[in-house]
Amino acid sequence: MCSNHRLACSCGRNKANIMFRNHILPPMVVCNLYCPECSKNVTLKLECMIFDNNWIMEFDLTLAHGYLKRVNVNTEFISPEFLFDQGYATWNGLTPNDLEHRLVEREEIVALAAHDMRQYLAEMKRWGCERAQKFREAGWRKAQQC
């Protein structure tokens, strides 16, 4: 079970849907979030930040370490990459706003199910593959794993 939290970036102009795997980490483990506009003014600190297509997520690794240790996760190699890539604190979807865009895009395709189930299934498959490819080409971190 995962929980979704909509967090605002530091400049307040954008929000990201962030998923927390199994409710292990609290939202405050993401101590800063920077959108493409506000990330321009940020010095990237690889020891506590993940950079994903001009978005930056900064983690409180001390807090993450404490929470993960309590549930017997091997905390020896905790890093921003570990937290993000293992889903402990990551985008809900392939991008920060994927949740909203995905729902809108799927709405049109779902309507096909009532009329032609084969066409619906084929269209969902096509849409999913093209969508993942588009995000891979754009350089989104989670899309590289699809």
Q: What is the model's pLDDT at position 104? A: 85
Q: What is the model's pLDDT at position 113? A: 84
Q: What is the model's pLDDT at position 1? A: 63
The Cα–Cα gap between 110 and 128 comes to 13
Q: What is the model's pLDDT at position 134? A: 95
CB 112 within 8 A of CB 44: no
Q: What is the model's pLDDT at position 145? A: 83
The sign of the CA dihedral 61, 62, 64, 68 is positive
Q: What is the model's pLDDT at position 4? A: 84
Name the percent of the chain in helix, strand, coil, to the closest 5: 45, 20, 35
Both structure tokens of 4: 């979704």
Which residues of the chain are modeled with pLDDT < 70? 1-2
Pairing of strands 30-34, 15-21: unpaired
- Amino acid, res. 105: E
Q: What is the tens place of the pLDDT at every residue in 92-127?
A: 999 999 988 888 888 888 888 888 899 999 999 999
